């Protein structure tokens, strides 16, 4: 939802940056990789040290690479499968690092195991949300539905985590993570139901073997 509504705004905002990067010879793939490395460093270095505010600022500085690389690819007319694969794969790495960093801090110096557990649950369910769509599309279905897509997950976690570092009560972060986990679970169920309905419309004898 947020992706669709914000795409036009961010495209206009970052197009000059994308155009400049292409002009100096930077590739969309390089932006994807550097952006992911920045997010991973911010999440796995700053967060475990308890630097939630500075870590969030650091991550935010790199998170928009996910927008810029797409703009660059469109400018080069390179919306191919390789770029899509690389972008989606590294998105999972970045998301995993984000929630893992929170879990490490709140299991250790943050001394709040409920928040750490909630972060791990969000990590797992977020991966399942993405996998459900990818697997559905690999089988010829569509599963682009749900109330907790990646943009919503990132914005909610980063905003609340950052302000927690400035003194916002940690209970707000706990509630946010719980709501996010619940929304992710609902999204997984929505995608399963959507694919199941499509499967019922398939002709008999077209069902592939189950994967292990």
Name the residues annotated as catalytic: 91
**Which burial class, exposed, middle or buried, applies to 90 when counting CB atoms under 10 A from its CB (0-12, 13-18, 19+)?**
buried
CB 28 within 8 A of CB 74: no
Sign of the four-CA dihedral 78, 6, 58, 105: negative
* Residue count of the chain: 212
What element of type H or E holds 99? helix 81-107
**DSSP 8-state assignment for residue 103:** H
**DSSP 8-state assignment for residue 194:** H
For helices 150-165 and 52-63, angle between their N-to-C axes, nearest 10 degrees: 150
Give the pair of three-digit tokens for residue 48.
Answer: 């475990």
């Amino acid at each position: 939802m947020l992706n669709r509504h914000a795409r036009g705004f961010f495209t206009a905002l970052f197009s000059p940056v994308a155009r400049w990067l292409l002009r100096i010879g930077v590739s969309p793939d390089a932006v994807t990789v550097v952006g992911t490395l920045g997010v991973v460093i911010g999440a796995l270095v700053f967060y475990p040290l308890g630097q939630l505010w500075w870590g969030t600022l650091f991550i935010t500085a790199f998170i928009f690479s996910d927008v810029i690389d797409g703009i660059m690819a469109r400018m080069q007319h390179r919306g191919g499968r390789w770029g899509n694969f690389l972008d989606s794969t590294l998105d999972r790495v970045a998301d995993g690092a984000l929630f893992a960093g929170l879990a490490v801090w709140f299991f250790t110096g943050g001394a709040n195991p409920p928040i750490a557990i909630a972060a791990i649950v969000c990590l797992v369910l977020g991966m399942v949300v993405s996998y459900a769509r990818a697997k559905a599309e690999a089988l010829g279905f569509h599963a682009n539905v749900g109330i907790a897509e990646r943009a919503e997950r990132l914005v909610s976690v980063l905003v609340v985590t950052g302000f927690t570092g400035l003194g916002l009560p940690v209970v707000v972060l706990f509630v946010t993570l719980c709501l996010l986990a619940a929304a992710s679970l609902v999204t997984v169920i929505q995608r399963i139901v959507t694919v199941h309905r499509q499967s019922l419309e398939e002709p008999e004898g077209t069902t592939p073997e189950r994967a292990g």
